[in-house]
Amino acid sequence: MWLIKGKGLRRYREWLAAWVLLVAHSSGLAHDATVNYLANEAVLLQLDNRKVLFDPFFHNDFGHYQKVPEKFRQAIFLGEPPYNDIDIIFISHAHEDHFSAVDVARYLAQYPQTQLVAPQQAVTQLQAMADYAKIESQLHPVALLKDQAPQSLSVADLAISAVRIPHAGWPARAEVENIVFYVRNDNISALHFGDADPQMAHFNVHKNYFKQLAVNLALPPYWFLIQAQGVAILQQVIKPQKTIGIHVPIAVPDALILSGYDYFSISGQQQPIPHKH
């Protein structure tokens, strides 16, 4: 029989404890890449040790879309897990179904460690808020013109790039600074489209940029998934590992159900983000 005694036993216990810690840590990593749906285009991304929110605060549903349920809204403001320790809030564009300057200013004033990455049009609205001086240092405005080369930035140790893609309905609403944001933490990445227009021409301008992006999770508005050019943009240009449609109306369109794509339509839904370990 094989016995471990004295010093040998202590070493064995230390080795075992270290091994258990290592396994717990790596399985923790594996479970820390998730996307939680709030409503419309509001999502929480947990990218390993970083948390970011997209378009979390808004008050207009235009009669078709979902608002963030009050219990989720409160949990965000109270910083209840998983909505605690938010590193960055991203705003795709300053429309009322994506952005409330009052709420964003209130949140940033309450959580001074949280950064905001947003188009200049949203930042301009924040400049009119009473708390502006208090939150100014947390703001990272993105000022981009249509067809302008993408902009890279690093905020909260996350690699971010931004490109302006026209708002759906183009050439109407051409003045809207709609930003497609890419965010990456080491080997986990996501692409949020805002209300991008699903025309290949807009994306072809930035073909080389999109070609070099490794996208684990694409979050396009649902209209990409039910239009031929939107599907082509995803399949030929973006080539994400996984796609989940957002901005889904309360009455889910039949075409979306038939598309075969995943989509979020119920607040609180969560999915893993596939990635290499």
User: Rounded distance, CA 264 to CA 43, Å?
Assistant: 10
Q: Considering the complex, state which of residue 39 and residue 126 has its C-beta at the smaller distance from Zn ion.
A: 39
CB of 58 to Zn ion, least distance (A): 9
**Helix, strand, or coil (residue 214):** coil
Closest distance between Zn ion and the C-beta of residue 28, in Å?
A: 35
In DSSP notation, 121-189 reads: HHHHHHHTSTTHHHHGGGEEEE---TTPPPEEEEETTEEEEEEE-PBTTTTTTTTS--EEEEEEETTEE
| Nearer to Zn ion among residue 177 and residue 195 (C-beta) | 195
Nearer to Zn ion, 97 or 197 (CB): 97
Q: Of the candidates 63, 73, 142, 140, which has an alpha carbon nearest to the alpha carbon of residue 103? A: 73
Nearest-10 Cα torsion for 13, 48, 37, 158: 160
Structure tokens at 213: 């992006």
Cβ 97 to Zn ion shortest distance, Å: 4
Q: How far is the CB of 222 from Zn ion (least distance, A)?
A: 11
Nearest distance, CB of residue 98 and Zn ion, angstroms: 6
| Nearer to Zn ion (CB atom), residue 193 or residue 210 | 193
* Cβ-contact 39, 69 below 8 angstroms: yes
Q: Work out how close the CB of 93 gets to Zn ion at its nearest, in angstroms, rounded to a whole number.
A: 6
Nearer to Zn ion, 87 or 195 (CB): 195
Q: Please give the residue ranges that form the binding site for Zn ion (CB under 5 A).
A: 95, 97, 195
Q: Measured between alpha carbons, how far is 166 from 185 in angstroms, rounded to an integer? A: 26
Q: Which is nearer to Zn ion, 83 or 222 (CB)?
A: 222
From the list 244, 56, 54, 47, the residue with the least C-alpha distance to 159 is: 47
